[in-house]
Amino acid sequence: MSATAAAHPERRVELWFMDEARVGQKGRVRHRWWLKGRRPPGVCDRRYDWAWIFGTVRPACGDAFALVLPDVSTEAMQTFLDAFAARLAPDVQAVVVLDQAGWHGAKALHIPETVTLVPLPPLFARTRPSGAPLALPARRFLSLRLFPDDDAIVDTCCRPWNALAAETARIASLCNDPWIKKLKS
């Protein structure tokens, strides 16, 4: 953060965390509360079609941004970074902390001027705060569902994400890791 602030003294530095989540027809079978001695109803699709939620959260204030994209690739990451950079205020430099997935650091990736990518060390990615907001819609709204087509997958991803993104206090709470409080944003 301090290196980015020194490199961009004319801009406010904001700390963001980024992750992806897969949602699709090869659904998740989850635990479900039901009557004792009875098997709960649940459906599981065997088809293989999905979309990916590329999301970033700002724990300091609970702000969030996401795109639902058809795959994970350098092109998808580029689309996400361009859209994310376009929504930033002109005087902001965003420090985006992310894991070391191959498409996050691809040589073909053109990182916008207002974005600085900071990869987490290996195995540290399990403690990243961006995973919780992305997992919540998947657990609560996207499990035990059948999706007839790609449009249904995208629509079903967008509705819970938009509802969650409107609840900035909930996002701030989900991302409330003690080590993040030591960083300034």
Q: Please write the tens of the pLDDT for every residue from 135-171.
A: 555 555 566 666 777 777 778 777 877 888 888 887 7
Q: Give bridge partners of residue 172 from the DSSP assignment.
A: none
Looking from the CA of 123 toward its CB, the CA atoms found within 13 Å total 0
Domains in the chain, CATH or no CATH each: 2-26+48-179 (3.30.420.10)
**pLDDT greater than 70 at residue 128:** no
pLDDT of residue 185: 46
User: Is the whole-model pTM more than 0.85?
Assistant: no
d(CA 84, CA 66): 8
